[in-house]
Chain A
Amino acid sequence: MAQSAEAASISRFSRTSHRHIKQGFFSRTLPFWLLLPTLLVLIAIQFIPGVFSFFLSTQSFERGQQTFVGLRNFERVFTSSAFGESLWHTLFFLIGYVTLTLIAGFVIAQILNRKLRLSAFYITVIFIPWVLSDVVVGLIFRLFVVPDYGLFSALFANPNIFPPKGISILTTPPSTPILPDVPFPPAPALIYLIFASAWKALPFITLLILAALQTVPREVIESAAIDGADGWRTVRFITFPLILPTLVVALFNLTLSGVNGVGMVFSLTGGGPGTATEVLSYLLYTIGFGRLDFGRAAALSVFMAIINLTLILLALRISRSEREA
């Protein structure tokens, strides 16, 4: 409201201004020219490839022949056992990754919010993993568990800690599934992948939650303490509801990065052992560039784009209703 009034005052001003009447075509259409390069790049790199992916998903590339096959690529992807399996892997990964990161981030942010003298130092140190790339993080974590020689390998191979025979993160296959067709419990490699990913995502989530905690007024917490609320109740009934919007942002952020992240799978496990860490994004890569089946890869990428857009629209709707409330 205030903004539009201001805008109106500017335009009234410009209509009466002598200088502005003499303004050329370029100045009058300035916003368009400023936006044009951005629009061109986004159309070329985001919009056209998106539409093109959709087109490719209806094509078959068998025997060097490109033919229209309708929705058959989707059908073949969705009914393949690799897809079902990687969907489960992605789900287990997401649950572990999101929960672990949110809880750890919340605890660390709570401590940092006590305005310790060294808070700035702590947050800087904690932030280093965020600057590292997925490939570097995957490789670092891989070096710790390479069979026999990794610094943690002896720990994992210890049968007293990991009965019955000890494990080797990169090679131990998943144990026999409890339910048929559901790869649960997941392989040690998938759990290790969760830890590596959470390690990298933790700083950002901690920072987000910390920023939200700092907006919670001190008086509210203090008056709760005077009313006799202990630490846990204060967190549960005061802090938690107040920072819930930020937690939702963090949740969506983690889910999106978890669904789409692929670099760490490349350098940490390469999808293995077997297919135990093949998540959706990695499956997309193996279909598209391992087997050069662009039609089916495009179908899978359309599926992933739909997941992403749904999540984003959901996040937008939630944040808007929060803002209006």
Chain B
Amino acid sequence: MNATLAASSHHVHRAQRRLAPWFFNGAMLIICFLVLIPVLGTVITSLKDQTEVQRNPPVLFPCDTPDGQFSLSACRWSVEGYTRILEPRPSAGTLFGFEYVGRMISVYLPNTLIYAVSGSVLVTMLAGMSGYVFSRYRFRGRRALMLAILAITGIPLLTNLIALYRMGVGLRQTFPGYEERLFVIVVYVGFFLPFSIWVVKSFFDTIPRELEEASFIDGCTPVSSLIRIVAPLAAPGLTSAFLLSFVGIWNEFIAGYLLVGKATLRTAMFGLYDFIGQFVIGYQVLAAGCIMVALPVVLMFLFFRKIFFRAMVEGALKG
């Protein structure tokens, strides 16, 4: 009796072990699908035309025949949402024979690209310099300074925004040559720098000092050792600081919305927010806008995902 029980429980265990991977893989596939529903739904919506997005009750796939049957040949996919954002106009001198006059593609996205590239290059440089100092030098006030920078990490831009807004107004009145773009970039740098310093410092901490000491013996000055020996080794850390700030600035909304006054300097996130009022029932246009704005950073993430993962875990846990 006992023996059979033991045998059967043993049997159950073996069966469980064989079934477990299938069970958990199945669970993960379902979770992945659930997580992706909003994204897939948006992609589908962006490929419908105006009459399809305004059907009541709504239909997921625009593929039904008049008698209510699903048929692939009846599909009415459309890129209307995208063309209404891009607004292509025939133009002789350009690459594809079209120029795109939609504000998203001609104004907002280029602006966001400028802010994100220049902002994150600056963040990376400054974080590299100060992260190196915090990792290598011991001086009075070092701990206090690091704690202060860590404390700043958590203060949201929103808290400072009222003051920054008033400062922007003041700067505009005092300096005739005031460059709004520059102000916004510096604000972004100030906002994303503290976190990057922590990420970069933790990477510098993993580089052995002996390498530098050896380079001193070989006749390097601290500056040349920093450039020739340390910087290449710290490249993964610097890359992750760059990528995280790039995504952060690209996705930032409220500062760009409040601090940028000129219509020609507005960001993509502002453009998207503005669309909500503009295309009140053009849901396919809104969906297409979401995809166009999100696609660059999604591709960037898929390409560099390992760097992202490592940097985020390090940054959160070390800080």
- The interface of chain A, by Cβ under 8 A from chain B, is 3-4, 6-7, 10, 13-14, 17, 19-20, 23, 27, 30-31, 34-35, 37-38, 41-42, 44-46, 48-50, 52-53, 56, 108, 111-112, 114, 116-118, 122-137, 139-144, 146, 148-151, 153-154, 199, 202, 204, 207-208, 211, 246, 249, 253, 256, 259-260, 262-263, 266-267, 281, 284-285, 288-289, 294, 297-298, 301-302, 304-305, 308-309, 311-313, 316
Contacts and interface: CB of A to CB of B under 8 A. Distances in A.
A294 B162 contact: yes
Given A4-B138, A131-B301, A42 B152 contact: yes
A298 B163 contact: yes
Nearest to A53: B163
Contacts of A309: 151, 154-155
B294 A133 contact: yes
Interface SS of chain A: helix, strand, loop or mixed? Answer: helix
Contacts of B166: 52, 56, 294
Given A301-B159, A304-B159, A309-B154, 14 more contacts: A41-B126, A49-B163, A126-B32, A131-B247, A137-B38, A139-B272, A139-B286, A140-B38, A142-B276, A204-B312, A208-B313, A263-B254, A294-B162, A301-B158
B39 A143 contact: no
A46 B190 contact: yes
A140 B42 contact: yes
Interface stretch (B20-28, B72-80, B88-96): B20-28
A150 B163 contact: no
Interface of B: 20-21, 24-25, 27-28, 31-32, 35-36, 38-39, 41-42, 45, 53-58, 60, 126-127, 129-130, 132-133, 137-139, 147, 149-156, 158-167, 186-187, 189-191, 193-194, 197, 209, 213, 216, 219, 221-223, 247, 250-254, 258, 269, 272-273, 276, 281, 283, 286-287, 289-290, 293-294, 297-298, 300-302, 305, 308-309, 312-313, 316-317
A168 to B, nearest CB: 13
Nearest to B188: A45
Of all A-B residue pairs in the complex, the 8 with the closest CB atoms, nearest first, are A45-B190, A133-B251, A260-B156, A49-B163, A49-B160, A52-B163, A34-B129, A38-B130
Given A31-B137, A126-B32, A139-B272, A46 B155 contact: yes
B247 to A, nearest CB: 6
Contact of A313 (B137, B138, B151, B156): B151
A267 B313 CA distance: 29
10 contacts: A31-B133, A45-B191, A108-B28, A114-B20, A128-B39, A130-B301, A136-B269, A136-B294, A297-B162, A316-B150
Contact of B189 (A41, A116, A135, A301): A41
Contact of A31 (B139, B276, B297): B139
B278 to A, nearest CB: 13
A46 B160 contact: yes
A150 B290 contact: no
A316 B28 contact: no
B162 A45 contact: no
A149 B28 contact: no
A23 B221 CA distance: 8
Contacts of B158: 260, 262, 281, 284-285, 301, 304
Given A150-B58, A284-B158, A134 B253 contact: yes
Nearest to A306: B159
B27, B155, B193, B301 interface centre (most CB from chain A within 10 Å): B155
Nearest to A148: B56
B223 A27 contact: yes
A151 B152 contact: no
Contacts of A144: 38, 41
Contact of A154 (B57, B164, B253, B286): B57
Contacts of A31: 133, 137, 139
A46 B152 contact: yes
Contacts of A124: 302, 305
Given A128-B36, A208-B317, A135 B167 contact: no
A1 to B, nearest CB: 12
B130 A305 contact: no
Given A31-B133, A308-B156, A211 B313 contact: yes
Contacts of A141: 38
Contact of B187 (A45, A117, A125, A199): A45
